[in-house]
Amino acid sequence: MPSPSLGLELLERLGELADLGHAGQLMAWDQQVMMPAEGAAARGEALATISRLHHDRLVDPQLGALLQRDAEAEPLIVRAVRRDHEVARRVPGELTAEMSRAGSDGYGAWLRARESNDFAVFEPALRRNIDLARQYAACFPEAAHPYDPLLDRFEPGTTTEQVSALFERLRAGLVPLLSQIAMQPVHQSLQGDLPVAAQREIGLEIAHAMGFDASGWRLDDAVHPFASSPAIGDVRVTSRFDDESLTGLFALMHEIGHGLYERGVDPQLGRTTLGSGVSLGVHESQSRLWENLVGRSPEFWTHWLPRMRERFPLTLRDIELDAFIRAINVVRPTLIRVEADEVTYSLHVILRFELELALIDGSLDPGDLPAAWAAKMKQFLGIEVPDDLRGVLQDIHWSEGIIGYFPTYAIGNVLAAQLWRVAQADLPDLDAELTRGELGSLRAWLREKVHRHGRLLTPPELIEQAVGGPLDPEPMLEHLRAKYGALYAL
C-alpha cells in the first residue's frame, strides 16, 4: 500500500481531482434521489462545469511533468494517474463538458418518456448521446473498433474483440441450459403480500450483517437502483421495493455489494484519485456475488428465512426452506434485466452489447432501436415486448450517455463465480458461517483480495492475483449447471 512519499505538489493536484470527482458524484446522486424535476437544467450545467474543470486539471501539462518527476516515489499510483492523463489529453474539454450536460438532460428526458411510456419522447436525447459517444470514440482513431474507447472507460484495457469472444462462450453455455430448464415443470415464484416497509426493515438487517454502518452509509429509494461513493467513508445505496416481489431486497444486497467495495479501499488511497473500484466489471463481481452466490443460497436463508417468516406471516409462515429456495431461483425469460434470474441475466446483457455496437458503428439508427430491441428479445429469450417501458426505456444508462458499460455486468457474473470458487477453497467454514448469519469472514476475504487495492492494479492484474488466472466463464457455467440441474432435476 502507498505511503505519503509523493511530492506535495502532486498530492495537492491529485487531491483537487478527487475533490472535483467527489462534487460531481454528489450532484449526480442528488439528481436521482432528491432533486426536484425543475432543477434538471441547472444541474446539467453545473455537472458540465465540474466535468470541464476536472478535465482541464487532468490534462494540464504540469501534472504530466509532476508525474514524470515523482515516477519512482509511488510507481503504481503514478502509472494509474498517467494513464488517466494520457487518455484525457486525447479528448477536448468541451466535448467532456457536453457529454456531461447531455447526460443530465437525457436523464430528464428518460424520466418523461417513462411516464408517458413513449420512446419518441426520449429519442432526441438518445440521438444526441450516441453522436457524442461517436465523437469521443473518434478521438482514438487507432482503436480496432470504435466501441473500444467507450468500453475502455469502464473496463480499462478490454477490447470489443475480447468481449465478443467471452460472450460467444457464455451464450453457447447458457442457451442449452435455458432450453433444458424450459422443458421442465414451471416453478412458482413468490406470490402474496410482501409489504415494502417490512422488506426495508429486513433488508436493513441483512445490510448491517453484510457491513452497512449508519455512520458511513445511507439508504434511499431511486427509480433505478444504484450505489455511489463520493469518498471512502461516504457510501450511498439505493433500491426500489415492490410489495408483490422480493426484487428490491435482492437489489439492495446487490448495491450493498458495490458499497462494500468502495468502503473497503485502503484509506491511504483517499484523495489520490485511486480510492475507488478498478473497473465496473470487477465492481459488478462484488454485487453479483453477494446478490446471487450468497443471497440466493440455501445456506444464507437457513439463517434469514425464519426472520422473513416473522416479517411476512401471511405469505411465508408455512413455506419450507427448499420451497423458498426454488421460489427465489425461478428461471423464466422475463422482460426486465434487473429482475432476471442467474441463467437469463447475461443474455439481457449480450442483447444490449450487440445493440450498442450497432448504434456506434452506424448500422442501427437510434429511431429504430425499439424494433431492434423487440427483435432481439424474441431471438434471445423468446418473449414479446409489449411496450417501451418494459423494453427499450427500462435502463437508465443510455439516457446518461453511459455507452460501453453494459458488458461489464456479464463480466462481473463471470468473475463472481471465479472468486466464489477460490473463496470456498480459502474459507472451508464459509457455508457453516452463512447458515449462522455470519458474513464477516467473506467480507474480510473480499477486502483483502479485491477491495483494498482500489485502482492501484490494472483489472487483469487484480483478476490474475485474486483467482490465479484470466477471466474464464467456465466456473460460472459449471455453477449454473450444478445449481439449476439440481433445482430442476435435469
> What is d(CA 190, CA 437) in angstroms, rounded to the nearest whole number?
22
2: cell is 502507498
The DSSP code sequence of 193-253 is ---HHHHHHHHHHHHHHHT--TTTEEEEE-SS--EEEEETTEEEEEE---TT-SHHHHHHH
Which residues are within 8 A (CB) of 71 and not within 5 positions of it... i.e. 6 or more apart?
78
218: cell is 445511507
Element (H, E) at 97: helix 93-116
Which residues are within 8 A (CB) of 102 and not within 5 positions of it... i.e. 6 or more apart?
125, 128, 129, 132, 401
13: cell is 493536484
416: cell is 463472481
E-state strands within 38-145: none
> What is d(CA 371, CA 391) in angstroms, rounded to the nearest whole number?
10
Angle in degrees, 0-180, between the axes of helices 407-426 and 280-288, rounded to the nearest 10: 60
CA-based end-to-end distance of the chain:
48
Annotated catalytic sites, by residue?
255
Q: Could you identify the residue written with the cell 501534472?
A: 63
Closest CA to 274 of 286, 282, 266: 266
70: cell is 515523482
Cβ atoms 351, 337 nearer than 8 A: no
> What is d(CA 428, CA 314) in angstroms, rounded to the nearest whole number?
37
> What is d(CA 106, CA 174) in angstroms, rounded to the nearest whole number?
34
Alpha carbon dihedral 306, 312, 314, 318, in 10-degree steps, equals: -20
For the chain, the residue count is 490
Angle at 409 between CA 404 and CA 414, to 5 degrees: 125
> What is d(CA 299, CA 304) in angstroms, rounded to the nearest whole number?
9
